[in-house]
Amino acid sequence: MPSAEGPQPTPRYKRALLKVSGEALMGDRAFGIDTGTVERIAREVVQVVGAGHQMCLVIGGGNIYRGLEGSARGMERASADYMGMLATVMNALAMQNALERLGTPTRVLSAIPMTSICEPYVRRRAIRHMEKGRVVIFAAGTGNPFFTTDTAAALRAAEMGCNALLKGTQVDGVYTADPKHDPKATRYERLTYRDVLNQDLKVMDASAISLARENQIPILVFSLHVDGGLAQVLSGTGRCTIIDEGE
Ligand code: UDP
Tell me which residue of 57, 46, 53, 45 sits closest to 15, measured CA to CA. Answer: 53
- Please state which CATH number belongs to domain 15-244: 3.40.1160.10
144 lines ligand 1 (CB under 6 A): yes
Atom of ligand 1 nearest to the CA of 20: 24
- pLDDT at position 12, please? 83
60 lines ligand 1 (CB under 6 A): yes
Atom of ligand 1 nearest to the CA of 85: 14
Ranges of residues in the chain with a pLDDT under 70 are 1-10
Domain ranges (residues) in the chain: 15-244
Give me the helices (H) in the chain, please: 35-50, 67-72, 77-101, 123-131, 149-160, 193-198, 206-214, 229-234
- Ligand 1 centre to CA of 91 (Å) is 12
Atom of ligand 1 nearest to the CA of 145: 7
**Cα distances (angstroms) measured from residue 92 to each of 12, 27, 85, 109, 123:** 27, 16, 11, 9, 17
- pLDDT at position 1, please? 41
Give the residue whose CA is nearest to atom 23 of ligand 1: 62
67 lines ligand 1 (CB under 6 A): yes
- pLDDT at position 247, please? 78
- Ligand 1 centre to CA of 9 (Å) is 36
Tell me which residue of 40, 33, 94, 35 sits closest to 62, measured CA to CA. Answer: 33
- pLDDT at position 3, please? 47
Task: Give the DSSP letter string of 180-244.
Answer: TT-TT--B-SEEEHHHHHHTT-SSS-HHHHHHHHHTT--EEEEETTSTTHHHHHHTT-S--EEEE
Sign (positive or negative) of CA dihedral 93, 95, 101, 105: negative
Atom of ligand 1 nearest to the CA of 88: 16
- Ligand 1 centre to CA of 184 (Å) is 32
61 lines ligand 1 (CB under 6 A): yes
98 lines ligand 1 (CB under 6 A): no
Exposure letters 168-177 (e unless 16+ CB within 10 A, then b): bbebbbbbee
- Ligand 1 centre to CA of 48 (Å) is 26
Give the residue whose CA is nearest to atom 3 of ligand 1: 147
Coil, strand or helix: which one is 12?
coil
Reported as a single tens digit per residue, the pLDDT across 113-165 is 999 999 999 999 999 999 999 999 999 999 999 999 999 999 999 999 999 99
Tell me which residue of 230, 86, 245, 102 sits closest to 169, measured CA to CA. Answer: 230
Burial class (CB in 10 A: 0-12, 13-18, 19+), 180: exposed
Atom of ligand 1 nearest to the CA of 62: 25
Atom of ligand 1 nearest to the CA of 63: 25
**Distance separating alpha carbons of residues 13 and 235, to the nearest angstrom:** 7
147 lines ligand 1 (CB under 6 A): yes
